[in-house]
Structure 1
Amino acid sequence: MTSEMKNRFYNVEPATIGHHLHYGFMDPRIRSMLHDVKIVGTAFTVKTNSNDSTMVHKAVSLAEEDDIIVIDRTGDNKHACVGEMVAYAANSRKVAGVIIDGTCTDIQALREIGLPIFATGLSPITTKLYGISGEVNTMVQCGGVSVQPGDLILADDNGVLVIPKDTDYQYILEKVEGNEEREAESKKMIDSGKTLSSITKADQLIEQFLSQR
């Protein structure tokens, strides 16, 4: 993906993309642990079991600038696999963010580091380094969505969206940018006195519905 296209994705709202895509949106339980964040990057995936975070440490050591580390916790929502040191190491490698289908810890330190972290919540119970299981850069499940290495990730305070790497990004951008231009025009019309239902043609749909009863 070119830097120009990445910037275009950064300047559109994931929620606007939701007008055109019906897949790829992670479950809302995975939410930003910080405030006022937005990240765009490609997925660097890792899978680890309930209490072994060995592969998370390896993934953080391999991830490159602007990668977004996506962690499949294989169902565990009790043990935190990301805390101060993992976030600090990821931030030092200029990783764009971390998304966990599970919990994180050390929230005060995470806020100080400032690396965007998306998780299901917080936990004081941490994983350990056992070296008994895990995978890096394979397909994972996160928030009910299959994620492949290299998939496009957009995440902000509203949630996380995964767009497969074989998607026609240009087509999506043209649709979404058109939507956002029309929204600007709609705001002007509302300011001039028009109702939202007349602008969106909701009035016509209601009339059709009532006529069929």
Structure 2
Amino acid sequence: MLKAFADLSTPLVADACVRHDVPLRVAPAGVGAVVHGHRLAGRALPVRHYGSVDVFLEVFGRAGPGDVLVIDNGGRTDEACVGDLAVLEARAAGVSGLAVWGLHRDTPELAEIGLPVFSYGGYPPGPVRLDEREPEALDTARFGAHLVSADDLVFGDEDGVLFVAAEHAEEVLATAHRIRETEREQARKIVAGETLRRQTAFDDYLARRTADPEYTFRRHLRRIGGAIEE
């Protein structure tokens, strides 16, 4: 999956989701990589954290090669829920990265380990609580407004993290590649002196909009084969 995502970005995948009316499920703003340039792509391995590392050790028994551990810590900013030992164990279990709805610690050690970890940021204290475990602890993880399961794929890069149902992955990634090629060609033309206004026949759009107020720019782009805004 990481290979399939190699030439793509989360903005391209998000645009492709919109193009196919696939639910846009994006992690809250601020979730980013501990190490600049790290990326995520793989099947979600969901888990909910209640204050003890044992739930992580348990879910690793379900891990498949390349899975991305998706940790639901309720978006808490008063504790770090994962550190170097948990990340080392994740790597040993074949996990390809972690997406944390919360905070991490042991930042220098995580950088040295090299496994991609995405979170809100670093924070020194670990948990001092032990909450009651829910029945869904190893089945689903909440991540912001979204519920993530093993039926989802996780993608992450410098713009953030998003989740796509595995059943839609093939069409979404294929469309993301097509959008990428269109946008790269548009960028090349701008650098060469052909403005985006000219490429998108913007004057024609303005004239059509004057004649038909319901003629939107997105409709215009679809008509001429443009890719921006979608």
Q: Verify same fold: TM over 0.5.
A: yes
TM-score, scaled relative to structure 2 = 0.79
CA distance in 2, matches of 1:72, 1:28: 16
Q: CA 1:54 to 1:178, structure 2 compared with 1: closer, same or farther past 3 Å?
A: same
Which residue does the alignment assign to 1:153?
154
Deviations 1:174-198 (A, max 9, x none): 3221111112322332233111222
- Alpha-carbon shift at residue 53 of structure 1 (Å): 3.4
Verify: 1:140 aligned to 2:141, yes or no.
Answer: yes
1:63 partner amino acid: A
Deviations 1:111-169 (A, max 9, x none): 110111111121111126958525443122113222111311111121111001232x2
When structure 1 is superposed on structure 2, of 7-16 and 37-46 the one drifting more is 7-16
Which residue does the alignment assign to 2:7?
11
Residue ranges of structure 1 left out of the alignment (5+ in a row): none
When structure 1 is superposed on structure 2, of 189-198 and 25-34 the one drifting more is 189-198
Note the 1:155-194 alignment, pairs <5 A: 155-167=156-168, 169-194=169-194
- Alpha-carbon shift at residue 75 of structure 1 (Å): 4.4
Which residue does the alignment assign to 1:115?
115
- Alpha-carbon shift at residue 15 of structure 1 (Å): 0.8
1:34 partner amino acid: V
Which residue does the alignment assign to 1:198?
198
- Provide the secondary structure at the position in 2 that maps to 1:95: coil
Deviations 1:75-127 (A, max 9, x none): 43222111010011112223110111111100010011011111112111112
CA distance in 2, matches of 1:73, 1:203: 50
- Provide the secondary structure at the position in 2 that maps to 1:11: coil
Q: Conserved in 2, the CA contact under 8 Å of 1:25 and 1:162?
A: yes
Q: CA 1:205 to 1:20, structure 2 compared with 1: closer, same or farther past 3 Å?
A: farther
- Provide the secondary structure at the position in 2 that maps to 1:10: coil
CA distance in 2, matches of 1:189, 1:156: 26
CA distance in 2, matches of 1:174, 1:61: 32
Residue ranges of structure 2 left out of the alignment (5+ in a row): 19-23, 214-230
Which residue does the alignment assign to 2:91?
91
1:101 partner amino acid: W
CA distance in 2, matches of 1:201, 1:148: 43
Identity rate of aligned residues, in percent? Answer: 23
- Alpha-carbon shift at residue 67 of structure 1 (Å): 0.6
CA distance in 2, matches of 1:10, 1:159: 15
Q: CA 1:109 to 1:196, structure 2 compared with 1: closer, same or farther past 3 Å?
A: same
Deviations 1:1-53 (A, max 9, x none): xx6xx63333222211222324111112211111111121000000123x333
What is the aligned residue count?
A: 206
Q: Which runs of 4+ in 1 moved over 3 A?
A: 128-132, 134-137, 200-212
How big is the alpha-carbon RMSD for the aligned residues of Structure 1 and Structure 2?
Answer: 2.4
Which residue does the alignment assign to 2:217?
none
- Alpha-carbon shift at residue 201 of structure 1 (Å): 4.1
Verify: 1:46 aligned to 2:71, yes or no.
Answer: no
